[in-house]
Structure 1
């Protein structure tokens, strides 16, 4: 029996056997007590630079040969061997050992009788064989490592999600590549992006892929509290620091010690708090509100905002030194209108999520109609992914349990009747008649909205007759007010 035992691995790996020895290992594997003893003996084999024979408690011997694999040092173990047993004492001991472990008498006797007797001169040939096998194993290990690296590269190029972040578009693949490179670092990260793009999700993914993944991930929205409450929440306070402070309270930095602290909407933080945050980022120290004792923490800080911090620095509303301190690594989350290719993937995920919360009935698995999907692809999505998720949830709720096909009639009026703005890229991939029709739809809708759906005034503004406008309104489905 041949086993490979790698360093720092408690259980050996079976890599080959012959028929007679296979019966022995099968008998051992079928009995938990003997299997544990067998494994324990192999895992405790001392490391040696030369081949050596190890006595096993069962009565047989193990030949170990050291070898060097690409992934590290290893030992080849050949067992069971019966070396120098002319009187058959070792066979009897193996048989007794199996019986004591609960193996049937017939099986124990059969296994013991099939063990082959080896001479010490045979060990030299086995050692040579082991060395050759070790070299082959090293080559095989290198090939496996190369294949694994190529497979990981392909996965990164073609993946459609980064744990909880879904996307196959080029902007998202570029984002995934950046996240791969910065996860192991402890540098401060600045996540920029519009509302609803998933900045907190990006921060959480950075944490989950870092060495701090087992520690806390703490989140605080800086615009949710006023200055005094925010300072107390972030840095903690001492008893008596202010009215109502009846006990010491640890801050969020204390809670995030060893982990990651995500500060959302950092652009709303007051200049006084900016100074205190800057000290934590530079020195890792701070004072709780009303306290004199300095505290030191080991925290990775990730900041985010939908505001233009550089413009705020120019306007004097955000500290320049803090801006450069948090902007060590900058990550921009693309808005949904710049990654329209991801809308079908996101839609499928949100439908599954909504139907999981609200189990469906006999209507079957829900899916979007082609018309509804086209409307989603043509919408600007000012609220980004969050708005899309809410829209899909709304459609699932309105459809009920009996409807599986989510048609465009279930869409919100603002999406169903709102044409795409050509400046947003709607003309790409369209021929001239389709682009002209799209432009006509947009102009008619805008004039109807401006004139509060007064068709007479809208027709005058467009330079067409009221009768012609009514016909076009019916054609484009603008018969209901949505603006």
Structure 2
């Protein structure tokens, strides 16, 4: 016993599992755990693990907030799996250390000790359970999801719709962040008021301030009349700041001021204008990491991260793939019906490959492939080749190379990946090695060596990307 908390030497939840769903229930049962600082500046500080993901770092937005300067703002996460837990580094400066070695992730055992910066933490399972509810519905607005992970997202958004608190939607490209933001607005008390979206990645920095906050006549060359910005236009409703990580540092203090004071001053103006906006931000980046890098203000991150919702990638919720595919195909069949064409269906082989594909483009890629296949199919059955075409050779690479020795097969796959990755990276960065090395997290010299290895000339690759 440790005080009034009973520490276990092994998991107590049904069948040794740390989390499970009782039959017929709309909740998970999670075995509690505890993280305690046993050495370092925050000695004695502890956190009870009562949800499937908890974060560790210096940011006030983290679940376990540590004060030592060697700890990054968003340093690590502890994730609960069906059997056990693991701690995972989130791109921190000083990493996670275990038994004298730096590790990317570590499966935690009762009593495990690991270092986060200069602080040593101990993990212990507890004889206590928590219920984690999820939505009874498999949709939220136009967003569909039968998987438990998506129904957890839906429940959080259902609750968030009843408040005006800022919401931060975190997820890879194509996971449906804007669709969920729209549904959140439609379920809120602001549903009949404006819903506007501003893509921070699509507007040059010089125009961002005028777009968001408006401007007065004569405030800059070409300002022939006064215009309200998106905050004024959305007043009473909701404003989505899509890809908020792309918002420049020079504008972040002004955005923070609008959030906190609910007033703004137009570009070139002196008058304070009141605005009433529900703010929804989306990002595919870890904002906590950008705070560490000096590219995002911590105070703004904290204000945006009041309700954080993480949207899982499609490959992590495979039970949603076929229902989504059938939904998209049904929508397209309605178009075919209006054109007097018969409906199309998936072949068994197509359905099997849909389930196996990794979907790097997530739901957006799934929808695009189905729409293209339905438009171009010969006949009324969509087969595997209609969906994936020449991509199948890559998808089936491991199938054809299973007869090779493991190291040889692995090397071939790695070489194909590296060449394709480098080509796309340099195209995205316009052939600029410095930008490419920063984006990839590689030393510039190492990136140049990889290019030489595969005979890739950055200038030529950049030229092809513009064709």
Asked whether the two chains share a fold, i.e. TM above 0.5, the reply is yes
Question: 1:265 & 1:439 partners in 2: Cα distance?
Answer: 44
Structure 2 counterpart of 1:399, from 363, 368, 377: 377
Please report how far the alpha carbon of residue 417 of structure 1 lies from its aligned counterpart in structure 2 after TM superposition: 2.7
Unmatched runs of 5 consecutive residues or more in structure 1: 1-153, 423-432, 453-483
The CA distance in 1 between the partners of 2:260 and 2:418, in whole Å, is: 57
3-state SS, counterpart of residue 218 of structure 1 = strand
Deviating runs (4+, > 6 A) in structure 1? 360-363, 433-442
From the superposition, tell whether residues 350 and 371 of structure 1 become closer, same or farther in structure 2 (CA, over 3 Å): same
Q: Which of residues 313, 320, 324 is equivalent to 1:346? A: 324
Task: Please name the residue that 2:394 is paired with.
Answer: 418
What's the CA shift for 1:179? 1.1
**Separation in structure 2 between the aligned mates of residue 262 and residue 323 of structure 1, nearest angstrom:** 15
Q: In 2, Cα distance between the equivalents of 1:246 and 1:395?
A: 48
User: Counterparts in 2 of 1:15-54, with a 5 A limit?
Assistant: none
In the alignment, the residues of structure 1 paired with residue 366 and residue 340 of structure 2 have an alpha-carbon distance, to the nearest angstrom, of: 26
The 3-state SS of whatever aligns with 1:412 is helix
For residue 314 of structure 1, the aligned residue among 292, 297, 304 is 292
**What is the distance in 2 between the residues matched to 1:340 and 1:437?**
28
Q: 1:420 to 1:252 in 2, by over 3 A?
A: farther
Native 8 Å contact 2:162 2:189 kept in 1? yes
RMSD: 3.1
CA contact (8 A) 1:237 1:251 kept: yes
Structure 1 position 373, deviation (Å):
1.2
Which residue does the alignment assign to 1:326?
A: 304
Q: Is the 8 A contact 2:135 2:152 kept in 1?
A: no
Distance (whole Å) between structure 1 residues aligned to residue 417 and residue 240 of structure 2: 43
Per-residue deviation, 1:308: 1.4
Contact 2:234 2:277 in 1 (8 A): yes
Q: Could you state the TM-score of these two structures normalised by the residue count of structure 1?
A: 0.55
Q: Distance in 1 between matches of 2:162 and 2:233?
A: 21
The alpha carbon displacement at 1:256 in A equals 0.6
Tell me which protein shows more helix as a share of its residues.
1
Q: Distance in 2 between matches of 1:450 and 1:236?
A: 46
- Distance, in Å, in 1 between the alignment partners of 2:415 and 2:200 is 41
TM-score normalized by structure 2? 0.57
Q: Does 1:188 align with 2:166?
A: yes
- Name the residue aligned to 1:286: 264
Q: Tell me the alpha carbon deviations over residues 368-404 of structure 1, each in whole angstroms, 9 at most, x when there is no partner.
A: 111111111111111100011110011101115xx22
How far is 1:405 from its partner?
A: 1.2
In structure 2, C-alpha distance between the alignment counterparts of 1:236 and 1:392, rounded to whole Å = 41
- Could you list the per-position Cα deviations for residues 223-253 of structure 1 after superposition, in whole angstroms to 9, with x for gaps in the alignment? 1111221110111100000010000101101
Output the CA distance in 1 between the equivalents of 2:393 and 2:333: 26
Tell me what 1:377 maps to.
Answer: 355
| Secondary structure class of the residue paired with 1:185 | coil
The answer to whether the Cα contact below 8 Å between 2:336 and 2:342 also exists between their aligned partners in 1 is: no
User: Which position in structure 1 is the counterpart of 2:413?
Assistant: 446
Q: Which moved more, 1:214-223 or 1:351-360?
A: 351-360
CA deviation vs aligned residue, 1:283-336 (integer Å, no higher than 9, x gap)? 001100010001111111000111111100001110010000100110011110
The alpha carbon displacement at 1:365 in A equals 2.2
Q: Name 2:436's counterpart in structure 1.
A: none
* Contact map agreement 1:184 1:211 (CA 8 A) in 2: yes
Q: Is the CA contact 2:263–2:275 (under 8 Å) kept in the aligned structure 1?
A: yes
Cα 1:363/1:298, change in 2 over 3 Å: closer
Distance 1:444-1:406 versus aligned 2 partners, 3 A rule = farther
Find the aligned partners of 1:356 and 1:202 in 2 and give their Cα distance. Answer: 24
The structure with more strand, counted as a fraction of residues: 2
Higher radius of gyration, 1 or 2:
1
Structure 2 unaligned segments of length 5 or more: list them: 1-132, 420-467
Distance in 1 (CA, whole Å) between partners of 2:263 and 2:387 is: 52
The aligned residue for residue 101 of structure 1 is none
